[in-house]
Amino acid sequence: MPITVDLYTRVIVAGQIAIDRQANLQVEAIDDVSLDVPDGAVDQRVDVQPAPATDIQFIAIHNTTGVGPVSYTSSVGGPVIPLVDVHLYSGPGMAALLGVNPTALYVTNASGQPVTLRIVVGRSA
């Protein structure tokens, strides 16, 4: 049975730019991973999804602690991406931003304290 996911995007620059978008996605599976990353961790692996990248409809990565520097890279050796708050990748081709087939992320924490990440993936089964 499909699962409905509502995504909201809002970007407002006073008097210049306004992007307000809502998308309703129908996904077949949700992977929800919470990860405690100790201070000093380097390339701590977190498996994020078992399906091919073409099945991914969105990935949300949230640093619930909100401190940095914390960074991640994809399982295919992509660039190191700094993370302080939330990253949301959605839509066709978005998984390519993380690499060809991102099945895992590698997290590094140099913040001086433990952090908690939440990673949510919506995908076809």
Q: Which residues of the chain have pLDDT under 70?
A: 49-51, 75-77, 92-93, 95-96, 99-101
Record: fold of 29-123:
Jelly Rolls (2.60.120)
User: What residues contact residue 105 under an 8 Å CB cut-off, 6+ apart?
Assistant: 45, 46, 48, 61, 72, 73, 74, 75, 98, 119
Residues 62 and 117: their CA atoms lie apart, in Å, by 5
pLDDT of amino acid 103: 78
Q: 65 and 79 in contact (C-beta within 8 Å)?
A: no
Q: Residue 104: beta bridge partners?
A: 47
Q: What is the pTM of this model?
A: 0.85
